[in-house]
Amino acid sequence: MRRTAIAMAASSALVMAAYFQATASDTNRFASDKARESYAMGALIGQQMGQEIPELEVGSFVDGLAAALRGEDSQLSDAEILEAVASFEQRQMEKARQQLAEVSAKNSADGEAFREKFASDAEVVTLASGVQYKVLETGEGDQPASDSMVVVHYRGTLIDGTEFDSSYSRNEPAQFPVSRVIPGWSEVLQEMTVGSKWKVVVPPELAYGERGAGALIQPNATLVFDIELIEIS
């Protein structure tokens, strides 16, 4: 019993000593400004690498980094390093392709369902190409030709309502040739009259297709536009 108590007391003393030692060393954990700066740079590299390569094996990464910084012989030859890095990059590329294919397939299915639902509105017209539109306001002006220059106000969204572009937000209409926009736009603009405002749904093959565009328009995204044809310039 006494031995047990002594052992427990000794353990407690060691724990407390370790605690105070850790606290003291934490207060002056950097022996110099250079040590503090070096730690900070290591922390930044670690944060970046952790975000870019979450599956990184920390111990092995630190071993390789330390050996290189100290000028020590690497455990891998130059050829083996290149081979390992190439293998990693190939695996990452394959993973990215798979993720892209999954996103593309989902967008395709979601877009098809959205267009089917939109087409159920009796006021919606579906052109032979697949472009759909609903007349919100009817203008009495002329219709542009494929070589016309037009002035329009527009708002573009994804099917979930996320806005990716808008001349209304910029408080300035856009001006461009009818032939220099996505195919869905080129087609539908030639169906409109000046003064008209339409809600237009463009299937991916007549928008940005499998490549997508920018950060918001993913591969095979169906796009929704409010288009107001102001004038033919």
Q: Which has more pLDDT, 15 or 165?
A: 165
3-state helix, strand, coil in the chain (%, to 5): 50, 20, 30
Note the pLDDT tens digit of each residue in 166-198. Answer: 999 999 999 999 999 999 999 999 999 999 999
Domains along the chain? 107-232 (3.10.50.40)
Identify the residue with better confidence: 212 or 7.
212
Structure tokens at 232: 């033919």
pLDDT score recorded for residue 46: 87
Give the Cα separation of 155 and 152 in Å (integer): 10
What local confidence, expressed as pLDDT, does residue 11 receive?
Answer: 42
pLDDT reading at 17 higher than 70: no
The answer, yes or no, to whether residue 21 has pLDDT greater than 80, is no
CA distance 62 to 199: 56
pLDDT band, residue 28 (cuts 50/70/90): low
201 touches 223 (CB < 8 A): yes
* pLDDT tens per residue, range 89-144: 999 899 989 999 999 999 999 999 999 999 999 999 999 999 999 999 999 999 99
- Where is average pLDDT lowest: 16-25, 128-137, 138-147, 209-218? 16-25
Residue 58 structure tokens: 């920390």
Q: How many angstroms separate the CA atoms of 199 and 71, rounded?
A: 65
At 63, list the tokens: 């071993």
Is the pLDDT reported for residue 19 higher than 90?
no
In the chain the first and final C-alpha atoms are separated, in Å, by 100
Distance from C-alpha of 120 to C-alpha of 126, rounded to nearest angstrom: 10
What average pLDDT does the segment 59-73 reach?
89
List active site positions.
154, 164-165, 182, 208, 225
Angstrom distance (rounded) from CA 23 to CA 21: 5
E strands, the chain, in order: 124-126, 132-137, 149-158, 163-166, 174-177, 197-202, 223-232
Confidence bin at 7 (pLDDT 50/70/90) = very low
Residue 15: pLDDT over 60: no
Task: State what percent of residues in the chain have pLDDT above 70.
Answer: 88
